[in-house]
Amino acid sequence: MKVLETYEGTIQRELYSADAIAGAIERLACEIAADFRGQPLLLLGVLKGALYVVTDLARAIACVENGPSEVVVDYLCVSSYGNETRSSGEVRLLKDTTETVTGRNVVLVEDIVDNGLTLEYLNALMAERKPATLRSCVLFDKPYHRRVDVPLGYVGLQCPDEFVVGYGLDYQEVFRNLPYLAQLQPWVFQSE
């Protein structure tokens, strides 16, 4: 797939194509739709990384027969990486949900899980608010450096032990709009 020339010059390899990602989203949508058949569902996208996952997933769920009775989409925003490729380990809530979580079927939608601290923090934050049910949905699982044993719920694709960009994932805020998942050339990080 042809993308911006400036992106092409910095990409080492494509890890998952846009089609492979779309297939994984469809599968996740079927699993979630089946579990919440006939019930209302609140999808909480974790920004910024999950911006495409949650929007594509919400539309895919709408196309599954006998799915939830309704789907509401809301967002929260956290930061743990700053501009680096290693997590600081400290999760900060930058924007809370606008929807009430109490008593609702909540699925937290994350882009990628690495050490697990972000998801653990968000699970705890949401659990305090007493949702009717709470699950998580993760598009990319990077299980090599887990620091906490956090339950993942719905999992899309396995990710290699690399810093990856694309489909919402950034490096220094760039590459989020790359339609596929990629690994960057090592020289891109040399200024770190």
> Roughly what angle, to the nearest 10 degrees, separates helices 51-62 and 18-35?
60
Q: Using CB under 6 A, which of 87, 97, 172, 177 touches ligand 5GP?
A: 87
Q: Indicate whether 184 belongs to the interface with ligand 5GP (CB under 6 A).
A: no
Active site includes 114? yes
- 157-to-24, 90, 154, 168, 181 alpha-carbon distances in Å: 7, 25, 10, 15, 11
Closest contact distance (angstroms) between CB of 40 and ligand 5GP is 26
Closest contact distance (angstroms) between CB of 89 and ligand 5GP is 8
Residue 133 is encoded by which pair of tokens?
A: 């049910």
Q: Which of 56, 74, 114, 149 is catalytic?
A: 114
Q: Indicate whether 136 belongs to the interface with ligand 5GP (CB under 6 A).
A: no
Query: What's the rounded Cα separation, in Å, for the pair 84 and 171?
Result: 8
Closest contact distance (angstroms) between CB of 47 and ligand 5GP is 9
Interface positions, 41-70, toward ligand 5GP (CB under 6 A)? 49
- Encode 2-44 in three state secondary structure: CCCHHHHCCEEEEEECHHHHHHHHHHHHHHHHHHCCCCEEEEE
- 142-to-55, 72, 147 alpha-carbon distances in Å: 22, 28, 12
Interface positions, 93-122, toward ligand 5GP (CB under 6 A)? 110-119
6 Cβ partners below 8 Å, 6+ apart? none
Of the candidate spans 51-59, 101-109, 124-132, 159-167, the one that interacts with ligand 5GP by CB under 6 A turns out to be 159-167
Between 10 and 87, name the residue whose CB sits nearer to ligand 5GP. Answer: 87
Task: List the catalytic residues.
Answer: 114
Binding site for ligand 5GP (CB under 6 A): 49, 80-81, 87, 110-119, 142, 163-165, 169-171
